[in-house]
């Protein structure tokens, strides 16, 4: 019998967490392994965490809000971030002596070291980000947004990483997983759902996801993690 290349992992309800510096909250969509105690290079098992978080200006009594928001330091972690929504266009990531990065478009990905002292400077009062944190010594990752419309017809995404996560930020699609044992998954998925796939380490045949979007434009936040 031909072996399945990937298997779907369970995804529970997003877990609300406080930033380690206490300045914000985040919703964790996927962590690997699920029982890793914390997002830290010091954790003996942690590999990656995929999250979504609002970035909000901080209220200042008697004055305008503080639009400079400090990020938590995460030594030994590689960080990847994209902004999916904002009230006023533009944010800047200020890394102090390590320079800065301007985010001028939605779904633009920026990557930086968790070792750096970083603050986010908002143009407006709020933004919504998706972010990926990866243990630098254990894995590397590709993080990007895929955007399709119903007029594109069937869209194929090759799978080659040890882990793939696809979050339906907007839109709907019928999704099929092809490879190895043939068509091993075929089901509709909708806005807000998250697909999480783990590769069978003994399998070598190619695999792919096939999307048939319908309705609104489909925007997927995609994570591919490769173990080192």
Count other Cβ atoms within 10 Å, centred on residue 123.
15
142-227: CATH superfamily: Jelly Rolls (2.60.120.10)
Mean pLDDT computed over 96-106:
97
Position 182 pLDDT exceeds 80: no
Per-residue model confidence (pLDDT) at position 4:
57
pTM: 0.92
Lowest mean pLDDT: which of 47-61, 105-119, 132-146? 47-61
pLDDT in tens, 7-47: 888 887 887 888 777 777 899 999 999 999 888 999 999 99
pLDDT in tens, 142-171: 999 999 877 788 899 999 999 999 999 999
Which segments of the chain belong to CATH 2.60.120.10? Answer: 15-136, 142-227
Q: Which helix (H) or strand (E) holds 132?
A: strand 126-135
User: What is the DSSP secondary-structure string of 13-58?
Assistant: SPEEEE-TTSS-EEEEEEEESTT--SSSTTSSS--EEEEEEEEEPB
Mean pLDDT computed over 77-94:
97
CATH no. for 15-136: 2.60.120.10
Residue 68, strand partner residues? 121
Mean pLDDT computed over 101-105:
97
């Amino acid at each position: 019998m031909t072996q399945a290349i990937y298997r779907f992992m369970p995804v529970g309800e997003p877990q609300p967490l406080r930033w380690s510096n206490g300045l914000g909250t985040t919703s964790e969509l996927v962590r690997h392994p699920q029982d890793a105690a914390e997002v830290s290079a010091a954790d003996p098992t942690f590999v990656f965490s995929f999250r979504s978080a609002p970035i909000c200006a901080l209220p200042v009594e008697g004055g305008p809000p503080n639009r400079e928001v400090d990020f938590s330091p995460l030594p030994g972690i590689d960080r990847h971030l994209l902004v999916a929504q904002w009230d006023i266009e533009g944010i800047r990531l200020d890394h102090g002596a390590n320079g800065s990065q301007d985010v001028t478009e939605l779904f633009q990905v920026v990557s930086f070291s968790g070792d750096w002292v970083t603050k986010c400077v908002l143009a407006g009062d709020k933004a919504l980000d998706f972010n990926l944190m990866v243990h630098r010594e254990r894995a590397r990752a590709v993080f990007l947004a895929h955007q399709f419309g119903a007029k594109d017809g069937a869209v194929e995404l090759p799978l080659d990483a040890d882990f793939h996560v696809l979050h339906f930020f907007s839109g709907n699609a019928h999704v099929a997983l092809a490879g190895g044992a043939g068509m091993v998954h075929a089901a509709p998925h909708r806005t807000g759902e998250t697909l999480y796939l783990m590769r069978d380490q003994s399998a070598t045949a190619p695999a792919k996801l096939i999307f048939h979007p319908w309705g609104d434009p489909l925007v997927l936040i995609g994570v591919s993690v490769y173990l080192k």
